[in-house]
Amino acid sequence: MTGSRFLNISVLIIVILCNFFCEKNSYKPETENDIVYKNPAYSIEERTNDLLARMTLDEKIGQMTQADRGALVQESDIQTYLLGSILSGGGSSPTPNVPFIWADMVDSYQSYALKTRLGIPLIYGIDAVHGHNNVYTAVIFPHNIGMGCTRNPELVEKAARATAQEVAGTGIHWTFAPCIAVPRDERWGRTYEGFGETAELTVQMAGASVRGFQGRNLADPSSILACTKHFVGDGGTAGGDDQGDTRLDEQSLRDIHMAGYIEAIRNGVGSIMVSYNSWNGQKLHGHKYLLTTVLKGELGFNGFLVSDWAAIDQLPGDYASDIETSINAGLDMVMVPTRYKEFITTLRSLVENQKIPVSRIDDAVRRILRIKFRLGLFEKPLADRSLTTTIGSIQHRNLAR
């Protein structure tokens, strides 16, 4: 009996040791393909859900923050503050202002984003509104009022496609265009940004522009994200007052000023910029009914909403109130553009104090991440230098002529 018991104990010890060493030797560290959000074989929704579940509150808030490059205290702030987006505002360009220097600059910013814990790439934005108009040697097209005069949607689409290639050649993935305002009063100082005074013409040109910028596949290296603007009624303010009050009944607002957005959404536009103006006395950046109930709900817009330059500052109340009102209204990304540290700290406090629900933060970040996956930024975050050579090409110049 003693020998049998000893044998059983010995066998048990051997089995335990075998299991231990087998499990130890069979352990495999998580590879890139094991991480769902890093594996392009998974669907965009699967990748988005996986990444969102891994993110901290600070990482989420960073995705909602857009800073101007000229406001960065240092480039490493992109990594430190987990910034999700950078833009070049007017005159915010590198020196010398030539295409390959732009590409180098944007790639440098991107490198800091890729060093963060989750490696979420930046989305870089710029006002390429009539060609890549901030970059020396880029081809310049007429402003929208001139393009509208052509009554030629096919030409508008080709111009947007050429612009997309040149923008992509500088490493930039997002243009704040097209402007689909419907100017109703020639005294408005931004009349030239609209295609024309009728909803019918604007609808034709809105769809053509979005198709040109975004292409058949947003992940194509020569495609960029379009941003229809400014939602909604910017061209219909009383007396042509810029950033003024659009005084219309809802049906007229829909028929005249919203029609272009419906067409843009039908063509898959990925971002929409909210307008400075008010509608019957209420600022659009705080208008939950129009931003969330109508645009995201009724019209089915599944991209993300971005503010205009420091536009939330025009809401009544202090800065914390501005952030609370605009985010709860449905704004997903804020073009801060300079107060990024204060914005991040304040938004975090608002969430922690339950003034903004986490569900609203998650919705905003989900929308932003979804677009970044659609753009293919996780696979190809850096500039495609083969496209840099298309900037100012004879083909594009002939098109502009």
Arithmetic mean of pLDDT, 100-112: 99
Annotated catalytic residues are 308
> Residue 169's pLDDT is what?
98
Q: Which two tokens stand for residue 182?
A: 């419907």
Confidence of residue 8 (pLDDT cuts 50, 70, 90): low
User: Collapsing DSSP states into helix, strand and coil, what is residue 215?
Assistant: coil
Report the alpha-carbon distance of residue 261 to residue 296 in Å, rounded.
Answer: 12
In a domain, 31, yes or no: no
pLDDT of 24 strictly over 70: no
pLDDT of 46 strictly over 60: yes
Confidence of residue 32 (pLDDT cuts 50, 70, 90): confident
CATH of the domain at 343: 3.20.20.300
Confidence of residue 23 (pLDDT cuts 50, 70, 90): very low
In a domain, 199, yes or no: yes
Confidence of residue 99 (pLDDT cuts 50, 70, 90): very high
Report the alpha-carbon distance of residue 60 to residue 73 in Å, rounded.
Answer: 21
> Residue 120's pLDDT is what?
99
209 contacts 178 by C-beta, under 8 angstroms = yes
Arithmetic mean of pLDDT, 345-360: 99
- Lowest-pLDDT range, 23-27, 52-56, 91-95, 239-243? 23-27
Arithmetic mean of pLDDT, 131-160: 98
In a domain, 392, yes or no: yes
For the chain, the domain total comes to: 1
Arithmetic mean of pLDDT, 330-350: 99
In a domain, 8, yes or no: no
Confidence of residue 11 (pLDDT cuts 50, 70, 90): very low
Average pLDDT, the chain: 95
Confidence of residue 30 (pLDDT cuts 50, 70, 90): low
CB count, 10 Å around CB of 16? 10
pLDDT of 31 strictly over 80: no
Arithmetic mean of pLDDT, 357-372: 99
Arithmetic mean of pLDDT, 333-361: 99
pLDDT in tens, 253-270: 999 999 999 999 999 999
Arithmetic mean of pLDDT, 51-65: 99
In a domain, 14, yes or no: no
> Residue 384's pLDDT is what?
97
Count of CA atoms in the C-beta half-sphere (13 A) of 189: 4
Arithmetic mean of pLDDT, 352-380: 99
Report the alpha-carbon distance of residue 223 to residue 167 in Å, rounded.
Answer: 9
For tokens 């009544």, the residue is 316
Arithmetic mean of pLDDT, 359-378: 99
Alpha helices in 38-80 (DSSP H): 44-54, 57-63, 77-80
Confidence of residue 280 (pLDDT cuts 50, 70, 90): very high
Distances (CA, A) of 111 to 75, 129, 400: 10, 27, 34
Arithmetic mean of pLDDT, 150-162: 99
- 137 dihedral zone (left: phi>0; alpha: psi -120 to 50; beta): left
Own/partner long-range contacts of 85-91 (Cβ < 8 Å, ≥24 apart): 85/122, 85/123, 85/124, 85/125, 85/333, 86/122, 86/124, 86/125, 87/124, 87/125, 87/126, 87/176, 87/335, 87/337, 88/124, 88/125, 88/126, 88/134, 89/127, 89/309, 89/337, 90/127, 90/134
In a domain, 25, yes or no: no
pLDDT in tens, 208-233: 999 999 999 999 999 999 999 999 99
In a domain, 358, yes or no: yes
> Residue 33's pLDDT is what?
75
pTM value?
0.93
User: Collapsing DSSP states into helix, strand and coil, what is residue 228?
Assistant: strand
114 contacts 108 by C-beta, under 8 angstroms = no
In a domain, 1, yes or no: no
What domain range is 199 assigned to? Answer: 45-400
318 contacts 287 by C-beta, under 8 angstroms = no
